[in-house]
Amino acid sequence: MLLELATRLGLGSNLRRGGEKQMEESASGGRRVSPYLLAILMIAVVLAFISILEGASAFLNDDLSNGTLFLAMGASTFIVAAYLLLQTRRRILKSGMEFPKMNTSIECMKCGNKSLREFQKGDYVYKKTEDPCTKCNEKALEINAIYREVKDKEKAKEITYGF
């Protein structure tokens, strides 16, 4: 049941693979939750469930103080485990790596007209495209370069040595 819940949340694939480190990223750009964290949270959920059962058993035996204590511990452990799981998942999705903008440079082999467009899946250098040229309307376009757009970074700090 817990494995099914983790799978629905997109967290269980690491657990089923025996804890191997998974480097694949989902389509949203997020990474998976650590299998060690999942194991710890599942152990905490099992202990919380046992605590709640002990609390119910204590209530049935008219031991109200121990029953209240066990029920409170079990409920608070469930709440903390759920909070940690959701916060970890949310943080991973927010911190997903942003991919740089990729551009494809296309040149017409007839007239030499060059154009630029956003990279599309399946683009490679020297690929003949089916699109017509914007200048001569011939279907002689070829991809001649693929590159990423570099954003201006902060100017590098100048290191000065005082002698």
The tokens 């909070």 sit on which residue?
83
- Give the list of residues 6+ apart from residue 30 with CB closer than 8 angstroms, or none: 92, 93, 96
Domain extent at residue 119: 102-148
- 127 within domain boundaries: yes
pTM exceeds 0.95: no
Q: Are residues 32 and 9 in the same domain?
A: yes
Quote the pLDDT of residue 139.
86
- 7 within domain boundaries: yes
For the chain, which ranges sit under pLDDT 50?
A: 12-30, 154-163
Quote the pLDDT of residue 160.
42
Domain boundary among 74, 94, 114: 94
As a whole number of angstroms, the distance between CA 58 and CA 76 comes to 18
Q: Are residues 23 and 87 in the same domain?
A: yes
pLDDT in tens, 80-105: 988 988 888 776 666 556 677 888 99
Residue 107's CATH number: 2.20.28
Strands laid side by side in the 102-108 sheet: 114-118, 102-108, 141-148
Q: Are residues 32 and 86 in the same domain?
A: yes
Give the total number of structural domains in the chain: 2
Domain boundary among 94, 111, 140: 94
Show the tokens assigned to 94.
């927010």
Quote the pLDDT of residue 138.
85
- 163 within domain boundaries: no
Show the tokens assigned to 92.
């991973």
- 160 within domain boundaries: no
Q: Are residues 7 and 87 in the same domain?
A: yes
Domain boundary among 94, 113, 131: 94
